[in-house]
Structure 1
Amino acid sequence: MSGLLTGLDWLSEAIPSATLKLAVSLVAVAIVVSVLLSYRRFHAWVCQRTKPLYADVISMTLLIGICFVCLGVVTGVWGRMEEVQQLYSELDLNSNVIPRAIFSFLLIVVTVIITRFVRRLIEEVFGSSSAVTAHQRKVTHRLSQVIIWSVSLVVVLGVWIEDLGSLLVGAGFLGIIVGMAARQTLGTMLSGFVLMFARPFEIGDWIEVEDNEGVVTDISIVNTQLRSFDGEYIMIPNDVIASSMVTNRSKRGRLRLEIEVGVDYATDVDRAITLAEDAIDDIEQALSAPAPQVVTKSFGDSAVVLSARFWIDKPSARRYWRARTEAIGAIKRAYEAEDITIPFPQRELSGRAETGGFRIADEQERSVGSQTGENGSDEARQEHRMTTPEEN
């Protein structure tokens, strides 16, 4: 190692001028910066000519090698190799430290290569599957990164620390304490992972959670964001969604609408049903299969209540209300053309026979009654004046 450190001392003698030393240093720094900036393009270029795994190894080796060479050139040009060697001697690094450092460094490089390989593997395996969304692929990649780096960190710590078991036990106790302090947050995060993989809904779906209804705009590990039909953004914690009843109106790609309409009791109900079905069938948003269906639902206070049911595809709030509005208008126009009455609520009043039922007073009786009422009120006022404390 000492010979390796002093091997570049000749650069300081070959370049005695400070100006040339500065120029060489700037060139070395420029090479490192250009390599870092062009690393992705170089990696893509190598990927086109060989396997991605080989491209990772070649590009990473080239990057590390160029950085070390430039660092050694700059140190040798300025004649600082002796100081590096002296520092190495003062640190008293034994023969086991350097192999450990090299092993740790190589393990980190291999970890970077493995994470990239796993990312490409996930994209190739799940990219062609329509059952796995891009969001789920991203989450899977992040989980794989956490697992791979955790294993690599444990291995590196095992190389440098002899009593790794006690450290892991302490970390376990610390994890338990943190988990108890933030159990709600951890529960929310676990619910977020469950929602991402269970897929009860996706971004763009129209869902209803308890009293909140809207379109899903984002699903994170902590919460789910909805955009209501009033333009408001609603943030719902994932643990609330996991413990609540969720209605997904977009899951099947179609939605059934139901409209109630009443017809007069004197109307031919079969004829009214046929007219309503024909009217809904002419709506642009209504699907032909399943076909629209109209059934009798109940006897209302003033009408026979019919239920018109039909389906729309690609359900959204706009399509829902547009189809509903057109269906109501079409049924009303069809009934008006056939003189079918849609009655408004009516109430019939009847008097008891033993009390003589209802009697309509004529104009003379009403005038007499009003005069009597006025006289009675005058007498009451006079009586009130007679009993006031002032007159007593």
Structure 2
Amino acid sequence: MIAWIAMCAQLTFGQDLISTLGQQDQTIQNEQTAEGRSVELAETDPHLSPIEMLQQTLNDIYQGFIERLPYLGAGLLVIIITWILSNLVGSAVFKIAKSRKLRRSLCELFSRLTIILVWILGLLIAAMIMFPGLTPAKALGGLGLASVAIGFAFKEIFENFFAGILLLWKYPFETGDFIECESILGKVEDISVRMTQIRQTNGELVVMPNSFLFKNPVNVLTDRDVRRITVMTGVAYDEDADQAVEVIENALKNCESVEQDYPVEVFLNGFGASSIDIEVTWWTSPTPLGHRKSRSEVVSAIKRALDDAGIEIPFPYRTLTFKEPLPIRKETGQAQND
């Protein structure tokens, strides 16, 4: 029994030894093969001409591109799906926000932020498909490093982007409002996250950076349904000023462009060079065209009412006073003929 156990142990040990030796031989052969390839490459590469090396490099690039082609196609398909999905999701978010009776600017803001988020996720997935070794952690880390350089390079673009978000979030004007900023007056046609398009009253289109609107005072002319207008007029000193005020008030009551629900204010303003100045104030449509129409109608009505009442709107008078009397000399007829 002991002899049989010893024999089995010897056989087992022999098999293990043979297996171990076989593995060592295989490892040695692999190392020799690798060394042989290295020696072969080392002996071959120096003999390649520059043109042959260039051809080999281009061939390697081409082979790598062919191998990556399925991944590139899948990534392109993801980008197309992202484009379609972003439009659908953006439209859905806009309709949901509109159904909640939010301001149009807020609806557009939520829609565009959703589109940006979908694009970020879609591009991240496409990058991970195109480059299989890329992970979300690596992508976000690379994005964090790149964002610093991009932030400095595109400072103004990002400034306009965040200004556009604040405009859509907080500012009272919407698409269709008339605004005035610095010397630009017109109708807002579109508000994007980077710029605002304003159509001026002469038909010209102004593309204004959002940061400019955010940093400068903006007059929103159509924030309310009405806007106040003031004009100055005057009557001669020898006319009854109180009667002139009453005549002007009655004249404005018959003007269609004057909002009768709001007070019409007519005040004696001061002593002018040739007349008693009268300030006339009323409310009308807030648009520039409505403003001009109403001003024209009111000025015409005041002029007609004062003329009908026999109240003079004087021309500028000039009275010259001399320190000493001026001598008047009558010319003779002969001098006059000459």
Identify the TM-score tier after normalising by the shorter chain: 0.5 to 0.7
Q: CA deviation at 1:206?
A: 1.6
Pick from 216, 238, 248: which aligns with 1:276?
Answer: 248
Q: CA deviation at 1:258?
A: 0.8
Would the aligned equivalents of 1:350 and 1:358 in 2 still touch at CA under 8 Å?
no
Would the aligned equivalents of 1:277 and 1:292 in 2 still touch at CA under 8 Å?
yes
TM-superposition CA deviations, 1:164-223 (whole Å, max 9, x none): 544422221211111111101111122122212223312222211101112222222222
Give the secondary-structure state (helix, strand or coil) at the position aligned to 2:294: helix
Aligned identity (percent) is 25
RMSD: 3.4
**What letter is aligned with 2:287?**
S
Structure 1: tracts of 5 or more residues without a match: 1-90, 92-104, 372-392
**For the structure 1 residues 277 and 204, does the alpha-carbon distance in structure 2 shift closer, same or farther, using more than 3 Å as the test?**
same
- With normalisation by structure 1, the TM-score equals 0.58
Is 2:324 the partner of 1:317? Answer: no
Would the aligned equivalents of 2:178 and 2:188 in 1 still touch at CA under 8 Å?
yes
Would the aligned equivalents of 1:115 and 1:148 in 2 still touch at CA under 8 Å?
no
Give the secondary-structure state (helix, strand or coil) at the position aligned to 2:229: strand
**For the structure 1 residues 323 and 119, does the alpha-carbon distance in structure 2 shift closer, same or farther, using more than 3 Å as the test?**
closer
**What letter is aligned with 1:177?**
A
Task: Report how many residues are paired.
Answer: 260
TM-superposition CA deviations, 1:48-99 (whole Å, max 9, x none): xxxxxxxxxxxxxxxxxxxxxxxxxxxxxxxxxxxxxxxxxxx9xxxxxxxx
Q: CA deviation at 1:275?
A: 0.8
Aligned to 2:143: 171
Structure 2: distance between partners of 1:115 and 1:234: 27
Q: CA deviation at 1:264?
A: 1.1
Aligned to 1:146: 116
- With normalisation by structure 2, the TM-score equals 0.67
Give the secondary-structure state (helix, strand or coil) at the position aligned to 2:207: strand
Structure 1: distance between partners of 2:127 and 2:260: 67
**What letter is aligned with 1:289?**
D
Aligned to 1:197: 169
**For the structure 1 residues 317 and 162, does the alpha-carbon distance in structure 2 shift closer, same or farther, using more than 3 Å as the test?**
closer
Would the aligned equivalents of 1:227 and 1:233 in 2 still touch at CA under 8 Å?
yes
**For the structure 1 residues 365 and 240, does the alpha-carbon distance in structure 2 shift closer, same or farther, using more than 3 Å as the test?**
farther
Whichever of the two has the greater Rg, that structure is 2
**For the structure 1 residues 236 and 152, does the alpha-carbon distance in structure 2 shift closer, same or farther, using more than 3 Å as the test?**
closer
Structure 2: distance between partners of 1:246 and 1:174: 36
Q: CA deviation at 1:296?
A: 1.6
Would the aligned equivalents of 2:195 and 2:207 in 1 still touch at CA under 8 Å?
yes
TM-superposition CA deviations, 1:276-295 (whole Å, max 9, x none): 11101110010112121101
Aligned to 1:326: 297
Pick from 154, 179, 184: which aligns with 1:182?
Answer: 154
Is 2:177 the partner of 1:209? Answer: no
Q: CA deviation at 1:364?
A: 3.4
